[in-house]
Copies of this chain bind each other. A is one copy, B any other.
Amino acid sequence: MAVDSLSIPGYHIYREDEAQSASSLDYSQYNPHPLDQLSIQEIPATAKLIREFAWPKKVKFNCITLREPKKNEYAAFRSRKGPRPDRRAFAIVIEQGSCNVAEVVVNLSKPKVEEWKPVNDVMPTLTLEDLDIVERLAREDSRVIEACRGLGITDMSKVFFDAWAIGVEERYGFDRRLQQGLAYYRNSSLDNQYAHPLDFSVVVDTEREEILNVDIRLVNGERTPIPLEEHNYLPEFIQQGYRPDVLKPINITQPQGVSFRMRGNELTWAGYKMHIGFNYREGIVISDVSIFDHQEQKDRALFNRVSVVEMVVPYGSPEKPHHKKHAFDVGEYGTGLMTNSLKLGCDCKGAIHYLDGVVNTGKGEAAVIKNAICIHEEDNGLLYKHTDFRDGSVISARDRKLIVSQIITAANYEYGFYHTFTLDGTYKLEVKLTGMLNTYCMHSTEQAAPWGTEVAPKLNAQNHQHIFSLRVDPEIDGPNNSIVQSDAVPAEDPVGSEGNFYGNGFYCKKTPLRTAQEAAVDYCHETSRAWDIINPSKLNESSKKPVSYKIINNSCPPLMAKPGSVVYKRAAFARKTLWVVPYRDYELFPAGDYVCQSDGRDNHPHNQTVTDWVARNESIDNTDIVCYVQFGLTHFPRTEDFPVMPAEPVSVMLRASNFFKKNPGLWVAPSKLCVDTVSQNAFDASCCAAKNQVKL
């Protein structure tokens, strides 16, 4: 029995009968911005064109997404020197029941299929529909039922499976599209299953809908009993009730409305301009970011495109089957596909503007995630302050954030992505990690250390890392940029010498990184290392330094997996804090376009990774460059992370550095100019009079 694929929590799916054919798309009427995500009309129209083209073959639509215009075409259009680019869609399709994959480019403006490219030895993203298969199949599988019976389980409706990408699985090659299913138990329908992990996992063929293996982990030949103790977080389970000290409400309101404006998906706020895009894989894509320089009275380009293009969560237990757990949540599952529908008051407070996300189903229908993107402002404390100690005169201004955010659920884990802009010209990506630890049951002879923490009796939460890759396609005051490494170092001259007599000298050592291989670099704590994305053709008049934005990233743990390991190969992007390569159209994903089942081999003809791009060792000097900035954290679970984790933030920042002539915060009216009259009046008038007046 094939399941009806149309039930996906969080998706509103538009049935085919609501869909238009491509020929009925009237771009003279409907004129999207070239970077707008595909509409609920364009997705089924794309599917229809592909189905017709593929006939008599039947295809499953792995993705249907915007084919962004080539950079030079779009730049010409944007600067009014070229025509509006044709509207195109990009699809990855799988021949039904097989693992044959093809990449398809559809020109919707024509409308026709422009490219059909079969790709080999690759596996596309697992969609929510794909992931949905595992639990259904596993519950019905006789070997699984048998494995459960061995633990005393007879009611299979109490057994749950989290579907994961396979990680590494030597038993099969690319002839099988694989997932693994991690098994859990629930005492009741809302019981927290992560308190009851089972001692086996399954390997599933997604396309043929088949359970291939039931891998039971035996310890000294024995099964591991289910940890049955309940550890819940939903209110109905909180027997002790909540703490009596009630937190009184904090209300955040904007009675005059928000300070940003949307024209379609183009946003303006406090001098910033940008376009907000969204796709199934990267989720939020922010393009065409510029800032109005009030002093020079013009818009100045900052970033061509910013998005989170990959992440990996390698687990640190070397014991089987845990070696298979190293989830690439962007490449293997799609950050866009896993996006939550957001709720006012829970996820965001204040005056919120939401944007929907549009993705596709396997049938080629459009599915809408309501409120996928949250756009709002927050007060951000002091922007600047100074008091003249002579007379107590004070000036201060308050800073503000514009936050463009999304939250995803990746099986057990949740990630919030907060793209944040502030009034001093800073862009910061903050990620908040929350949700549930991945847990495993412990045999009575086992202890959790050193590879994990026993977060509750017989429950092992294993060590893991979260390493994210932020792709920044910079356009610092123009298309051609370079990278300079900054290191804080003491003066070379010894103490007592003429050049450094008192020994206090230190400076910022600048090292231009001229090729992609030179720019494959790590953070250095000892020198507070940072990297300037400079425009070598534009000098700051005062500092005589090129205008730049500085990459500030000291939350970038080294990859713990050893050189030569599976993770080291598959997640090669995580080996370095920074990679910089020259821009190429459609070169986006540093762990490859196809991450599922990838082995990280060099020079895969259809699946190049960042190490392949860097191996070209092209010049990155004064040209159109792209930076991949890796950041994240290493997580040794604590009991406090159970049964649900307090949100842990981690962030990376790009900050103006000799980009503006002066503090751009000065273009914002100060909060208030308050002369400290209260305390001034408290003084004896006779002694103040002479002192505080400066005659000129």
Contact = CB atoms under 8 A, between A and B. Distances in A.
> Which of A270, A507, A558 counts the most B-chain CB atoms under 10 A from its CB?
A507
Closest 4 CB pairs of A and B: A503-B565, A9-B392, A318-B505, A525-B525
A213 interface: no
A490 interface: yes
A502 B7 contact: no
Interface in A441-481: 447-451, 453-457, 459, 463, 465
Of the candidates A190, A268, A658, A674, the one having the most CB atoms from chain B within 10 angstroms of its own CB is: A658
25 contacts: A7-B688, A9-B389, A9-B390, A10-B392, A231-B662, A235-B669, A243-B270, A243-B294, A248-B254, A316-B507, A318-B493, A341-B679, A346-B672, A381-B416, A382-B407, A385-B647, A387-B409, A424-B646, A449-B507, A450-B508, A454-B544, A495-B562, A502-B566, A526-B558, A554-B555
Most buried by B among A188, A504, A555, A638: A504
A39 interface: no
A447 B507 CA distance: 14
A262 to B, nearest CB: 14
Interface string A650-663: 00000011111111
A542 B455 contact: yes
Contact of A12 (B292, B496, B679, B693): B679
Contacts of A143: none
B259 A424 contact: no
Interface in A633-656: 633-634, 636, 638-647, 656
A488 B560 contact: yes
Contact of A414 (B128, B385, B491): B385
A663 B676 contact: no
Interface in A653-687: 656-674, 676, 678-680, 682-684, 687
B435 A385 contact: yes
Interface stretch (A47-55, A396-404, A581-589, A604-612): A396-404
Interface in A296-326: 314-318, 323, 326
Interface string A142-157: 0000000000000101
Contact of A676 (B341, B459, B506): B341
A656 to B, nearest CB: 5
Contact of A687 (B4, B665, B674): B4
A622 to B, nearest CB: 21
Contacts of A414: 385-387
Given A270-B245, A526-B558, A394 B660 contact: no
A497 B275 CA distance: 50
A454 B542 contact: yes
A543 B292 contact: no
A229 to B, nearest CB: 10
Contacts of A662: 231, 456, 639-640, 642-643
B259 A7 contact: no
A128 B250 CA distance: 38
Interface in A198-248: 231, 233-235, 238, 240, 242-243, 245-248
Given A190-B393, A542-B639, A252 B251 contact: yes
Interface in A500-525: 500-508, 523-525
Interface residues of A, number: 205
Contact of A318 (B504, B566, B644): B504
Contacts of A157: 694-696
A564 B495 CA distance: 7
A391 B186 CA distance: 15
Given A248-B254, A504-B316, A506-B463, A684 B7 contact: yes
A264 interface: no
A52 B449 CA distance: 66
Contacts of A155: 695-696
A56 interface: no
A507 B450 contact: yes
Contact of A644 (B158, B255, B384, B525): B384
Contact of A683 (B6, B396, B491, B502): B6
A320 to B, nearest CB: 8
A254 B251 CA distance: 6
Given A341-B678, A694-B157, A634 B501 contact: no
A411 interface: yes
Given A160-B390, A383-B647, A496-B564, 19 more contacts: A8-B683, A155-B695, A187-B696, A242-B667, A243-B668, A384-B434, A384-B645, A385-B416, A386-B436, A386-B644, A456-B542, A463-B488, A463-B506, A495-B565, A503-B561, A504-B560, A543-B639, A639-B659, A644-B665
A284 B394 CA distance: 22
